Amino acid sequence: MAEAEILDYNLHEKTSKRNGRFSRRTILVFLLLIIVIVLVILIAVTYGKKLQCDDDDRNNREHTRRKNSSTESNNLISFLLFSDVHLDQFYKATAGIDSVCRNESEPSTYNAPYGRIGCDSPLRLLHDALNAMKKQANNLPNLGFIMLSGDSCAHSIETHRRKVVLENINTSSKAVKLTFPDIPYFPSIGNNDIPGHYVMPVENDTWYSDLLNIWQDAILCKHCDMSYQTTTEAELRKTFLYGGYYSVSIAGL
């Protein structure tokens, strides 16, 4: 009987020790699990904050970029430039190049309403080109002015040259101002825009005065809604009547 009790006691003691070890192990595992969970939560929170900071930085950079871009756009000025119109009021769509497209009794084999290689520009081409420029101008920031760098008139004007050249220049200038009525137009004189081909006006010639009568309103653009003045009439006349040149202020600069 005593031996049985001793065996029961030993078994109970072993079981108690085993249960004690198991309990401590369970507690340790539980604590480790809690630590792991806390670490995962801390990592997730830290990563989330980092993502938020990155998003904030990205948004701030984008805001700054847009702000700078807007500022740069406000400081930019766009302009349109076209050259060598060579408008020919005598152009005939069915005429051949032997008559530089002016004599319908010398016809071509096909109709060319917008111009032909070897000939100058019909009025229809000028109008359509200006309309295309106007459409493109809608995409330009702060369109400020238009430049024509010379040669409004056609080649090979021999008969009544003075009258015809001035008429062509007047027609092209009116077409530009009709298409772009609210911005200044700065034309210059080309070698085909003078009394003779490559022949400058003589001292007592009224050519510069005749040209200025056509271009003055476009250059000064007094009716335009602008915060600056391109130049004064006195300054314009002083240099243009002397040598056919002038200087202007662009966007108040």
What is residue 137's predicted lDDT score, i.e. its pLDDT? 92
pLDDT tens digits, 50-65: 888 777 778 777 766 6
Q: Is residue 68 part of a domain?
A: no
Q: Give the CATH number, domain containing residue 204.
A: 3.60.21
The angle that helices 207-220 and 233-243 make with each other, rounded to 10 degrees, is: 150
pLDDT tens digits, 105-114: 999 999 999 9
How far is residue 19's CA from residue 16's CA, in Å, rounded to a whole number? Answer: 5
104 touches 93 (CB < 8 A): no
- pLDDT surpasses 60 at 6: no
Q: How many domains does the structure of the chain reveal?
A: 1
Range of the domain at 184: 78-90+120-243
Q: Is residue 192 part of a domain?
A: yes
Give 226 or 9, the one with higher predicted confidence: 226
**C-alpha angle with apex 238: 237 to 244, nearest 5 degrees?**
70
Q: Is residue 20 part of a domain?
A: no
